[in-house]
Structure 1
């Protein structure tokens, strides 16, 4: 009888552990998950800003470059911000259309006037933008779309900073629970956190990690 009771207790404890683990489905409503979500949502609500001068994405300074490149990169950013907003809204169809617009905008960037390392940097980052945006454009599955947001965000931010192409202040934001708890970044024109990796499920989970002013 004691062995049976012991096994029952162990089984019950194991079940409780599984139910409260971070790896369970985000839609479960256990107390442990609720507290975990509240903790991460409390990390930032737009009032928590990074230290002055903090840099997450290192880029060369090509801001003196003349020509249409800056405006063409700004077009990428504009389409990116629409994509991000539609991922926040969990609208896969609109996000797909936005991703196609990003690819089109990236293909229009004229790097012929750039020289040496400037051209190499632009081509590499534009390649990453097109790669990630194309993957998003191929799918209407939100999870699949969101899995490519990290690369798209970093490449877009690097291009923007490198060539001084921001038409507005941009916030580089981070959620530690995105991408299976590996973390994920995204760009926003608003310091208030609106999480594109989880949408309404964890809307305010994240923090501002870098600010780039126009």
Structure 2
């Protein structure tokens, strides 16, 4: 009788474990879908903005990807976007400082070091964007007073909603819109 119980319980336990294990990836998939949605939102907002300088516009598109990567805490994606910005900035008339900041992001996998270089990169890009002008859409110059050890940090965004790249999930909405560039 005890043998029969062991034989009956074992398959039931195995089915329970397999079912539980199959459900776990579903939960992870929904997180991945949420992350993909954040990336898609950034991409849509980036493409809704058109700068007057085509080369600078291409750099801004990569900057939007970088901002999303830092907001999501994804150092690898930040490195990829930094690499693309560095290459694009090299084609800009006054892109030397922008390229140097992007190179610092590409050179490290430390998200905090990337965010520090992002601050300098953002300041450079904001100046270039204001100089070139926006042909279509609106860019928001956002500011977080707590970034950079309470020195504050600026960034560009294609949406009015604050999504803080300096602190990511820990302080996602910390910041304010300081200025609008464009229509």
**TM-score normalized with structure 2 length:** 0.69
Matches within 5 A, 1:158-197: 158-165=127-134, 167-197=136-166
Q: CA deviation at 1:151?
A: 1.2
For residues 6-62 of structure 1, what are the alpha-carbon distances to aligned partners after superposition, in whole Å with 9 as ceiling and x for unaligned?
xxxxxxxxxxxxxxxxxxxxxxxxxxxxxxxxxxxxxxxxxxxxxxxxxxxxxxxxx
The answer for the alignment partner of 1:204 in structure 2 is 173
Larger RCO, structures 1/2 (Cα 8 Å, 6+ apart): 1
The answer for the alignment partner of 2:111 in structure 1 is 142
Gaps of 5+ in 2: 1-51
Q: Which has the higher helix share?
A: 2
On the 8 A contact 1:133/1:152 being kept in 2, the answer is yes
In structure 2, relative to structure 1, the CA distance for the partners of 1:197 and 1:73 (3 Å cut) is same
- Any idea what SS the aligned residue of 2:53 has? helix
Structure 1 vs Structure 2 CA RMSD: 1.4
For residues 113-155 of structure 1, what are the alpha-carbon distances to aligned partners after superposition, in whole Å with 9 as ceiling and x for unaligned?
xxxxxxxxxx2xx122111111001011000000111111111
On the 8 A contact 1:75/1:105 being kept in 2, the answer is yes
Gaps of 5+ in 1: 1-68, 112-122
The answer for the alignment partner of 2:97 in structure 1 is 128
Q: CA deviation at 1:175?
A: 0.6
For residues 89-112 of structure 1, what are the alpha-carbon distances to aligned partners after superposition, in whole Å with 9 as ceiling and x for unaligned?
000000000000001111123x4x
Q: Moved runs in structure 1, 4+ residues, more than 6 A? A: none
The answer for the alignment partner of 2:53 in structure 1 is 70
Q: Which has the higher strand share?
A: 2
Matches within 5 A, 1:1-214: 70-109=53-92, 111=93, 123=94, 126-165=95-134, 167-214=136-183
Question: Greater CA radius of gyration, 1 or 2?
Answer: 2
In structure 2, relative to structure 1, the CA distance for the partners of 1:92 and 1:136 (3 Å cut) is same
